[in-house]
Structure 1
Amino acid sequence: MHKVAVIGGGWAGCAAAVELADRGATVTLFESARNLGGRARMVEVNGVPLDNGQHILLGAYSETLKLLKRVGVDANDTLLHLPLQMRYPNGSGMDFVTPRLPAPLHMLAGLFRAKGLRREDKLSLARFSTTARWMDWRINTDCSVSELLNRFDQTDTLVQLMWRPLCIAALNTPPERASAQVFLNVLRDSLGARRAASDMLIPKVDLSGLFPTNAARHIEAHGGRIACGSMVTGLHAEGRRWAVSVQDIEEEFDAVVVAIPAAQAARLLNGLIDTVGLETFNYEPITTCYLQYDPGVALDHVFYALVDDAHLKRWGQFVFDRGQLDAAQAGLLAVVVSTSTEAIAMGHNVLADSIAQQLAEVFARPELSAPHWTKVISEKRATFSCTPGLQRPLNLTGLDGLVLAGDYTASDYPATLEAAVRSGVQASRAITLN
């Protein structure tokens, strides 16, 4: 039996550990925090289990869905499946919902029925979809999403109400400096694939309960070990094996998966490999503001898009009615602010107040200006900044038995849960077990 250490218990590390355990390895999963999940986990606030960031998955997340099934998670029970949609409250934007028809008819029908878009906007969107398919969703030289949209003659209305929100939600990078090719990759696998691939999947359970907790159970059932609260402080080769140090205790393994954030991996691997590729990333924050109201407070739909405007101090980009996902969270709204550097500079209390006012105004419901309590959770390094032509490191390090895993490794996808899972699976398969 091969002994394999997985350093880092985020979604990439959990995915790698599950894959290795299923292949017969004896796995030890080291995580410095008290709980698994990394940047997608549950935290408890005022006795309420909240996620450290509200997430939406896509039907195109094939590896994530496979892995959930493998660890015993029923996606139909734990994920709310919604057709692709972009809905704004009270006529503040468009209302676009795709029907459950075969692709690409679902997009055409949704576009035909869409409200808040002029004929010019609809034709512009149809041209974009048709041309992108003809181009096989590829461009010769990467550029910014803004430049791509300009080339495709997308209207200002579409940019504001459709493309900008989708780009920020998918890449967590503003369109003016986001990679057009990576954006096209996401569109290819969602809008350009089968109808179910474009579905929006919203977790009905907390993120820890969705995957990390079940992954841990699966790993232990296959003879593995979960070591939370264990920070790896050293790593070096011992002949053909690897010595992993946790404080003053050293343990040898046949192989190691390093599944911690790039900057941390660079520090741990300094002197073992060339770490320049791990040190050049810039990062973008994501902030989620939770607002608790009376249990009777609810929205008409599970989530809405919001028009953000920094000049008007309107920071919210999407709002979710948590009570429609979990009855125990009735009256709880979650508002997401991606690329939120400017917003969090205001301070959490000021940001929460401005978001409450934004909700009251756009929904024309004064009671939303006065929540019982609020909680702002910011992940300051939530994702890398997904810029054009960005070079990302491979899973392979060039050293036998040492591989990298993380949403920052080379991939068609931006820093998403799917990218993390794919990287973890690929890293584990790069390890030879014999």
Structure 2
Amino acid sequence: MKAAIVGGGWAGLSAAVELSRAGVQVTVFEAARQVGGRARSVEARGRRLDNGQHILIGAYRETLRLMTAVGVDPERLLKRLPLEVNFPDGKGSHFRMRLPRLPAPLHLAFGLLGARGVSVAEKFSAVRFMRFLQDARYCLDADCTVSTLLDRHRQRGKLRTCLWESLCLAALNTSPKQASAQIFVNTLRDSLGGGRAATDLLLPAADLDRLFPAAAASFIAAHGGKIRCATRVETIDDGFQVAGERFDGVLLAVGPQHAATLLARQQATAETAQLLAGYHFEPIATVYCGYAPQLRLPFPMLGLAARGRGEIGQWAFDRGALCGTPGVIAFVLSGHGAWEELDRQELVAQLDAELASALHTRLPVIAWQQVIREQRATFSCRPGLRRPAARTARSGLWLAGDYVCAEYPATLEAAVRSGLAAARGMLLEKRG
């Protein structure tokens, strides 16, 4: 069996690895000059940087399993830390919540009740909210926005802004005022509602290429597969001919906007193409700032609470503590917001000032800076959003991508799961 994988991101590579393990001859077609999709490393100003600062958690079971399968050691390349949410405030109202290493669900209860910078009433309200979700088996009667859900359960104050809303924006890349409450609840189910290890933060201690894409490409090649980069697929004909080569099946692992274009050219898949063409998208910016090597953040990942008008900060990552590049701070901005209106210099100056204010200290002068913007980083994860199935109406044509994994938002785990599901479906279809 010969299979074409169109798209060399984490979904496409996951599918290709799974098919290769089953003895399928795969060819991965990637429009860019390297694999990895939106989670890859790039060369910028002579430095190796990630295209975005991604976070993994212990609940990413399939991602961790597949990393191991292609020869990557997650425990060496990921820095495992107990979940800790830190929002320093130079004015003295520091929010901090850290989950202790206790069996579930005690770790969550003790973590919420031990949170600093919040009132006792807020803590017990948060415990009641999680208890409601557990009793409801993390299934809402009807989807709504995250803001509506939090209002309904009287989640207020810093636990709302620094925990629930920050987790929503980080996981769904969509404002709580627009984000799907059910998808958010699904992420809580598998993280805070899971076992103790499921809540661990897994922060990359190496560039993204080393985490999976490079090893996956080597694995595919070792099993007789091919990776064809800088090859844009414009059409898939009736006989599954791709870039001049004929295949027994095709797996599309590209973004929804690109999949819509390819699917629209076939009558059988026109309805799915129309669905995907209606998707909205959310941006992500990663702002790298090179300070003096002695600069250290008190925790590898710090929250920046936008406390007043004009403040934009969300998260800051200490790449020195994570990747061995002292003094490099990566600021991450997710979802639509006021930050989009700022040019590079304004963005850097604003984030530098907000970090200095949060730490209540004067920061060293920035020696260099790099801003990476992804205008269509993820689909906008809104209430009731229809998601396509992995199996299309055309026999032999399958879909993969984070938008296909209906239970999850646009995360690496969703991309990996979708790739595995599509590959397994393709195998079953051929055997049948």
TM-score, structure 2 normalization: 0.96
Cα distance per residue 1:83-115 (max 9 Å; x no partner)? 112112244441110111110111122223221
Aligned-residue offset at 1:123:
0.6
For 2:151 and 2:54, locate their aligned partners in 1 and report how far apart those are by CA, in whole Å.
Answer: 29
Aligned partner of 1:431 in structure 2 is 426
**How much identity, in percent, do the aligned residues show?**
45
2:399 paired with 1:399: no
For 1:402 and 1:361, locate their aligned partners in 2 and report how far apart those are by CA, in whole Å.
Answer: 53
Aligned-residue offset at 1:376:
1.0
Q: In the alignment, residue 284 of structure 2 is paired with which amino acid?
A: I
For 2:155 and 2:112, locate their aligned partners in 1 and report how far apart those are by CA, in whole Å.
Answer: 15
Q: In the alignment, residue 376 of structure 1 is paired with which amino acid?
A: V
Query: Aligned ranges for residues 271-420 of structure 1 at < 5 Å?
Result: 271-272=265-266, 273-274=269-270, 275-309=273-307, 312-327=309-324, 329-368=325-364, 370-420=365-415
Is this contact kept in 1: 2:118–2:157, CA < 8 A? no
2:61 paired with 1:51: no
Is this contact kept in 2: 1:92–1:362, CA < 8 A? no
Q: In the alignment, residue 278 of structure 1 is paired with which amino acid?
A: L
For 1:26 and 1:313, locate their aligned partners in 2 and report how far apart those are by CA, in whole Å.
Answer: 54
Q: In the alignment, residue 160 of structure 1 is paired with which amino acid?
A: T
Aligned-residue offset at 1:360:
1.3
Query: Aligned ranges for residues 6-45 of structure 1 at < 5 Å?
Result: 6-45=5-44
Q: In the alignment, residue 66 of structure 2 is paired with which amino acid?
A: L
2:245 paired with 1:251: yes
- Greater displacement, 210-219 / 352-361: 352-361
In structure 2, the CA distance between the partners of 1:89 and 1:156, relative to structure 1 (3 Å rule), is closer
What secondary structure does 2:401 align onto? coil
Query: Aligned ranges for residues 53-72 of structure 1 at < 5 Å?
Result: 53-72=52-71
Aligned partner of 1:195 in structure 2 is 196
For 2:94 and 2:154, locate their aligned partners in 1 and report how far apart those are by CA, in whole Å.
Answer: 20
For 1:9 and 1:234, locate their aligned partners in 2 and report how far apart those are by CA, in whole Å.
Answer: 17
Number of equivalences: 423
Is this contact kept in 2: 1:266–1:279, CA < 8 A? yes
For 1:186 and 1:111, locate their aligned partners in 2 and report how far apart those are by CA, in whole Å.
Answer: 17
Is this contact kept in 1: 2:174–2:336, CA < 8 A? no
Aligned-residue offset at 1:342:
2.8
For 1:313 and 1:330, locate their aligned partners in 2 and report how far apart those are by CA, in whole Å.
Answer: 29
What secondary structure does 1:233 align onto? coil
What secondary structure does 1:175 align onto? coil
Is this contact kept in 2: 1:287–1:340, CA < 8 A? no
For 1:72 and 1:135, locate their aligned partners in 2 and report how far apart those are by CA, in whole Å.
Answer: 40
Aligned-residue offset at 1:367:
2.1
Aligned-residue offset at 1:340:
4.0
Aligned-residue offset at 1:141:
0.7
What secondary structure does 1:205 align onto? coil
Q: In the alignment, residue 208 of structure 1 is paired with which amino acid?
A: D
Cα distance per residue 1:384-428 (max 9 Å; x no partner)? 111000001111111111101111114210011111111111111
For 2:93 and 2:12, locate their aligned partners in 1 and report how far apart those are by CA, in whole Å.
Answer: 41
What secondary structure does 1:148 align onto? helix
Query: Aligned ranges for residues 71-90 of structure 1 at < 5 Å?
Result: 71-90=70-89
Is this contact kept in 1: 2:82–2:199, CA < 8 A? yes
Is this contact kept in 2: 1:285–1:341, CA < 8 A? no
Cα distance per residue 1:230-275 (max 9 Å; x no partner)? 111221122xxx1112xxxx11000100111111111122221111
Structure 1 unaligned blocks of 5 or more: none
Is this contact kept in 2: 1:84–1:199, CA < 8 A? yes
For 1:206 and 1:8, locate their aligned partners in 2 and report how far apart those are by CA, in whole Å.
Answer: 20
Is this contact kept in 2: 1:288–1:378, CA < 8 A? yes
Aligned partner of 1:133 in structure 2 is 134
Structure 2 unaligned blocks of 5 or more: none
What secondary structure does 2:262 align onto? helix
For 1:281 and 1:81, locate their aligned partners in 2 and report how far apart those are by CA, in whole Å.
Answer: 35
For 1:305 and 1:427, locate their aligned partners in 2 and report how far apart those are by CA, in whole Å.
Answer: 36
Is this contact kept in 2: 1:320–1:333, CA < 8 A? yes
TM-score, structure 1 normalization: 0.95
Q: In the alignment, residue 309 of structure 2 is paired with which amino acid?
A: L
Aligned-residue offset at 1:313:
2.7
Query: Aligned ranges for residues 103-118 of structure 1 at < 5 Å?
Result: 103-118=104-119
Q: In the alignment, residue 177 of structure 2 is paired with which amino acid?
A: E
What secondary structure does 2:35 align onto? coil
Query: Aligned ranges for residues 211-226 of structure 1 at < 5 Å?
Result: 211-226=212-227
Aligned partner of 1:264 in structure 2 is 258
